[in-house]
Structure 1
Amino acid sequence: MTLLNLSDLSVTLRVRPVLSHITLDVRPGELIGLIGANGAGKTTLMRAALGLVPFTGRASLAEMTPGERGRHAAWMPQTREIAWPVSVEALVGLGRVPHEGRASADEDRAAVDHALSTLGLEPFRHRTATRLSGGEQARVLLARALAQETPLLMADEPIAGLDPAHQIGTMKSLAALARDGERGVIVSLHDLGLAARYCTRLVVLHQGRIAADGPAGEVLSPALIREVFGIDAFYEDTPRGPVFQPLDILGPGPDS
């Protein structure tokens, strides 16, 4: 079963090619880390997959009606804006909108409760969302996506702005969602250490194309890290999981 299919997908924005001939499938049970340098096209790829920007080629989600897409894929964008001073519980409950008329009140309540519990947000349930810190708001918005209970979850930098403990906790929660075998998750990440440790598969974007696609141990080779990120790094599989550590910038550094 394929949850998302991109075939020969290309995007040009303001006459500038951003993505070129992307082919990618996402299946249940996968936690895919989308990695690459700034400007590689990670956000654009996910937005094109959802039909939010013009593209050529094929994107299976873009072929669905808005209602079908809302029940199939949940989307957490990079922008962390909460416009109204509503409670955390009410905001997370907005994830149930695509199921309106299709789910009971008890099912909606259970989905919200589970999302809050999964991300450790139960103590915030009755707090005003706009009064939370940026990191707390990011977790609330991810909880809204979880409450949507879709087969596919797409999140753009879901751990940005979180402290180390909540970064690890969030990645563990996403890994658990994928591990149940019923959902697929694709996230864009800049922390290659957490990507290597928790993602079942890494897709590397470089200059708008897929430069590598596979398990971390195969993808994070010294040669690829040098080419894509311009750094030297240390990678090792240990009994506690993969360890990735950036070591130095290749060539003149930013302070030279």
Structure 2
Amino acid sequence: MTDVLATRELTLRYADRAVIDGLDLELPAGAVTAIVGPNACGKSTLLRGLSRLLRPSAGVVTLDGADIHRMSARALALRLGLLPQQPITPDAITVEALVRLGRHPHQRMLRPWSAQDQAAVENALRRTGTDALRERPVDRLSGGQRQRVWIALALAQDTDLLLLDEPTTFLDLRHQLEVLDLVADLHETAGRTVVMVLHDLGQAARYADHLVVLHDGRLAAAGAPADVLDADLVAEVFGVDCLVVPDPETGTPLVVPRSRAARHRA
């Protein structure tokens, strides 16, 4: 198994509106992929389709060549973990109890909670910095704390393929970087394949090996950040006049919008 997610002629709809339209895409295994694009271009819809939360109206999503809609829910959950954009927290549940739900796909009727299950929960709490919050009700945490707890649940699931829909939402800059550093660590030390939706192009270019750029439900570009992210693409997809320069820290593409005066002169 190589954990290759792919789509063929994928169309995803809400009612009579096609949000993703005829998409052919292959996401590289063992890499960090960032899906970027303007608001309402289909980023989160695509992630819902890739995780089987949304059934295609046409086309197919495959995992290592197998149609994910022909796999059992448990078989898919053992291979693919998901952090949705706006997860719903059960009433009055504590942090540790929520993270323990990530072990559900590993449970069987005659298999009790094991030391391996608890170790996975402890590791997830530690890596997300939420271990000190374990007894607190999730609904009493700040937005940033809740986001880290949900990431811990996804980590406790212990899958080789992890989908994250805007994992830095509600987080200040320090915690955004902590989450993205965690993603990089999961990739580098555990070989996880990660697919995440991001808004910040600089962060996407810095942390991702592979970019998928969407525009109006279609693929605008895909490839290594340095190969696809340039001023022409940003102008066409995002409608922003900018310079794309090397990041002084990493050398990866950094998008610098032109000043108001420069835009007016143009």
The question of 1:188 aligning with 2:197 is answered: yes
Show the counterpart of 2:32.
31
> Which of 51, 65, 68 matches 2:72?
65
Gaps spanning 5+ residues in structure 2: where?
Answer: 63-67
Cα distance in 1 for partners of 2:94, 2:233 equals: 45
Q: TM-score, normalised by structure 2?
A: 0.88
Matched, 1:247 2:249: no
Which SS does the other structure have where 2:52 is aligned?
coil
SS in 2 for 1:139: helix
Structure 2 equivalent of residue 171 of structure 1: 180
Aligned pairs for 1:49-198 within 5 A: 49-55=50-56, 56-60=58-62, 61-101=68-108, 105-180=114-189, 182-198=191-207
SS state of the match for residue 20, structure 2?
strand
User: Aligned partners of 2:4 and 2:112: how far apart in 1?
Assistant: 22
Asked if the contact 2:184–2:207 (Cα under 8 Å) also holds between the matched residues in 1, the reply is yes
TM-score normalized by structure 1?
Answer: 0.91
- RMSD (CA atoms): 2.0
Partner amino acid for 1:14? A
> Match of 1:199?
208
**Counterpart of 1:8 in 2: which secondary structure?**
strand
CA distance in 1, matches of 2:128, 2:24: 32
Is 1:177–1:183's contact at 8 Å kept on the other side of the alignment? yes
Cα distance 1:239–1:37, how it changes in 2: closer, same or farther (>3 A)? closer
Q: Which one-letter code corresponds to 1:11 in the other structure?
A: L
Name the counterpart of 1:223.
Answer: 232
* Deviation, structure 1 residue 50: 2.1
Pick closer, same or farther for the CA change 1:82–1:178 going to 2, 3 Å.
same
CA distance in 1, matches of 2:206, 2:73: 34
Instruction: Look up the SS of the partner of 2:60 in the other structure.
Output: strand
Return the offset for 1:239: 5.5
- Distance in 2 (CA, whole Å) between partners of 1:214 and 1:27 is 10
CA shift, 1:28, in A, is 3.3
The C-alpha deviation readout for 1:166-190, integer Å capped at 9, x for no partner, is 1001001111112236321100010
Deviation at 1:44, TM superposition (A): 0.9
| Alpha-carbon separation, structure 1, partners of 2:15 and 2:114 | 45
Show CA shifts across 1:73-127 (max 9, x none): 1111111431321221111111000000368611111111111111111211222
SS in structure 2 opposite 1:231?
coil
Residues 6, 59 of structure 1: 8 Å contact kept? yes
Q: Distance in 2 between matches of 1:194 and 1:232?
A: 19
Q: CA deviation at 1:238?
A: 4.2
Name the CA shift for 1:2/1:72 in 2 (closer, same or farther; >3 Å): closer
Measured in 1, the distance between the counterparts of 2:128 and 2:28 equals 24
* Matches of 1:207 and 1:63, distance apart in 2: 29
Instruction: Say if 1:218 and 1:27 are closer, same or farther in 2 by CA, change over 3 A.
Output: closer
* Secondary structure at 1:110 match in 2: helix
What is the identity, as a one-letter code, of the residue corresponding to 2:122? D
Larger mean Cα displacement after TM superposition, 157-166 or 93-102: 93-102
How far apart are residue 69 of structure 1 and its match?
1.0
Distance 1:103 1:62, change over 3 A: farther
Write the distance in 1 (CA, Å) between the matches of 2:143 and 2:198.
Answer: 18
Q: CA contact under 8 A between 2:74 and 2:105: conserved in structure 1?
A: yes
The code of the aligned residue for 1:23 comes to D
